[in-house]
């Protein structure tokens, strides 16, 4: 069996990526999910993982090459496959491969659902089976999951990434901005999507929203995964929140965004520009301010979910980045006994981006163990 190692598509707008480094030699034996190469996009750097088990027979792309999404990085095959067949596979691929046209390049398209007069934008990947719902953090949007959603989706598992109220492509009206209102809005969207029972995965503020939802309707929650979640302690980096809401320029915003990551070099010019473009939309700053005032007054967390979660009859996974500078990693231990807790090294407040491979593995195992 010959398999293609292709240029991945991370996020809605990625068209091409540059090969920064090969992480394994030609001839290396690979397992599904092994890290194979490092790729740089306009927006962010990431690691390409092996699409299956096999030997890396060819490193087709050279370091520095820029490939369109779907372009051929390398070839995986069993050791027994003759070299001639590998050569023929490469030759045929290069002769017939057509990059996605400009008009079609958008790939998966976001959709919207309306409930209670409020529009929620979402992106669905995967078909049928159990539903997994991803909820991003304060100031983010569904692209927070650009390294995760595709990896978690599959036949028999539908993964929905939603924009919280006031964020991304969702309605900018957040009312008082309270956790209860955010959770009610998401509950309305899930009902309108016809999702009866879901696996909830929340990051940061989205974690608190997911926990609030799970507490409100445990019978409709198959599992709860909390990543660097709000709601598990009183501390939060108030300077970050204030800086994020107030920043109007790249110069102001960049150092704020760098607090999110263990490695500040992750924050590229385009990453900052994307966040600025969202913040410039009418209503966004007001929405963020309302949420910050209600949920995180004076740089503290206004809600305590840890005690309430202690008695919940839903399986809980907690993931944290060891170098989180926004919400302290000590909060990971605040959820009572039954929860599984994983602290990931080399990652800050965004482990789903900085340690995507590890977080995908943890989430995949957890979801698999609980029926999805």
Between residues 279 and 340, which has the closer beta carbon with respect to another protein?
Answer: 279
Among 127, 255, 277, 346, binds another protein (CB under 8 A): 277
Q: Are 135 and 212 in contact (CB under 8 A)?
A: no
* Residue ranges in 67-96 that form contacts with another protein under rule CB under 8 A: none
Nearest Cα neighbor of 161 from 137, 129, 194, 196 is 137
Least distance from C-beta 234 to another protein, angstroms?
34
Dihedral of CA 39/162/359/265: which sign?
A: positive
Among 281, 304, 336, 369, binds another protein (CB under 8 A): 281
Count, residues near another protein per rule CB under 8 A = 14
Does 101 bind another protein (CB under 8 A)? Our answer is no
Site string for another protein, 6-25 (x = CB under 8 A): ------xx------------
Between residues 15 and 333, which has the closer beta carbon with respect to another protein?
Answer: 15
Does 255 bind another protein (CB under 8 A)? Our answer is no
Q: Output the CA–CA distances (angstroms, integers) from residue 221 to 78, 114, 138, 218, 349, in the order listed.
A: 42, 22, 22, 5, 25
Least distance from C-beta 127 to another protein, angstroms?
21
Cα–Cα distance between 115 and 186 in angstroms, integer?
9
Between residues 105 and 173, which has the closer beta carbon with respect to another protein?
Answer: 105
Nearest Cα neighbor of 202 from 249, 145, 154 is 145
Among 264, 280, 297, 365, binds another protein (CB under 8 A): 280
Least distance from C-beta 281 to another protein, angstroms?
5
Does 304 bind another protein (CB under 8 A)? Our answer is no
Among 27, 112, 176, 250, binds another protein (CB under 8 A): 250
Between residues 83 and 248, which has the closer beta carbon with respect to another protein?
Answer: 248
**Stretches 158-166, 247-255, 303-311, 321-329: which one binds another protein (CB under 8 A)?**
247-255
Among 29, 248, 263, 307, binds another protein (CB under 8 A): 248
Element (H, E) at 225: strand 221-227
Q: Nearest 10 degrees: CA dihedral of 215, 217, 222, 223? A: -20
Q: Output the CA–CA distances (angstroms, integers) from residue 190 to 89, 287, 304, in the order listed.
A: 44, 21, 24
Nearest Cα neighbor of 52 from 22, 73, 69, 75 is 75
**Stretches 44-52, 102-110, 223-231, 299-307: which one binds another protein (CB under 8 A)?**
102-110
Least distance from C-beta 273 to another protein, angstroms?
8
Cα–Cα distance between 188 and 195 in angstroms, integer?
10
Cα–Cα distance between 3 and 115 in angstroms, integer?
43
Between residues 156 and 283, which has the closer beta carbon with respect to another protein?
Answer: 283
User: If 0-12 CB within 10 Å is exposed, 13-18 middle and 19+ buried, where does residue 314 land?
Assistant: buried
Question: Token pair of 154, please?
Answer: 């599959």
Give φ, ψ of 87 to 5 degrees.
-60, -45
Does 265 bind another protein (CB under 8 A)? Our answer is no
**Stretches 76-84, 158-166, 280-288, 294-302: which one binds another protein (CB under 8 A)?**
280-288
* Residue ranges in 108-127 that form contacts with another protein under rule CB under 8 A: 109
Among 25, 265, 282, 313, binds another protein (CB under 8 A): 282
Nearest Cα neighbor of 181 from 200, 218, 144, 208 is 208
Cα–Cα distance between 7 and 271 in angstroms, integer?
20
- Residues contributing to the site for another protein (CB under 8 A): 12-13, 105-106, 109, 248-251, 269, 277, 280-282
């Amino acid at each position: 069996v010959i398999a293609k190692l292709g240029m991945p598509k991370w996020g809605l707008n990625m068209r091409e990526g540059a090969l920064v480094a090969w992480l394994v030699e030609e001839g290396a034996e690979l397992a599904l999910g092994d890290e194979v190469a490092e790729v740089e996009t306009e927006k962010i750097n990431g690691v390409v993982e092996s699409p299956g088990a096999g030997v890396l027979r060819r490193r087709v792309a050279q370091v520095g090459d820029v490939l369109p999404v779907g372009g051929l990085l390398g070839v995986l095959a069993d050791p027994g496959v003759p070299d001639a067949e590998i050569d023929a596979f490469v030759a045929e691929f290069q002769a017939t491969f057509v990059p996605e046209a400009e008009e079609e390049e958008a790939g998966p398209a976001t959709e919207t659902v309306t409930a209670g007069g409020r529009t929620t934008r979402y992106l669905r990947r995967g078909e049928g089976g159990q539903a997994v719902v991803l909820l991003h953090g304060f100031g983010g949007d569904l692209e927070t999951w650009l390294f995760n959603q595709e990896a978690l989706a599959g036949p028999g598992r539908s993964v929905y990434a939603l924009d919280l109220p006031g964020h991304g492509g969702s309605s900018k009206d957040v009312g008082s901005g309270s956790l209860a209102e955010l959770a009610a809005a998401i509950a309305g969207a899930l009902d309108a999507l016809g999702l009866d029972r879901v696996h909830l995965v929340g990051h940061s503020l989205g974690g608190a929203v997911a926990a609030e939802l799970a507490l409100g309707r445990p019978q409709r929650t198959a599992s709860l995964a909390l990543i660097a979640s709000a709601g598990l302690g009183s501390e939060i980096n108030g300077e970050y929140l204030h800086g994020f809401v107030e920043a109007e320029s790249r110069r102001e915003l960049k150092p704020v965004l760098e607090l999110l990551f263990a490695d500040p070099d992750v924050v590229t010019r385009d990453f900052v520009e994307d966040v600025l473009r969202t913040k410039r939309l009418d209503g966004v700053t007001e929405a963020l301010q309302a949420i910050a005032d209600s949920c995180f007054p004076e740089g503290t967390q206004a809600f305590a979910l840890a005690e309430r979660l202690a008695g919940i009859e839903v399986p809980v996974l907690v993931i944290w980045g060891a170098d989180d500078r926004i919400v302290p990693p000590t909060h990971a231990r605040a959820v009572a006994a039954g929860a599984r807790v994983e602290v990931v090294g080399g990652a800050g407040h965004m482990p789903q981006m900085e340690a995507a491979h590890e977080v995908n593995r943890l989430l995949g195992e957890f979801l698999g163990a609980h029926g999805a």
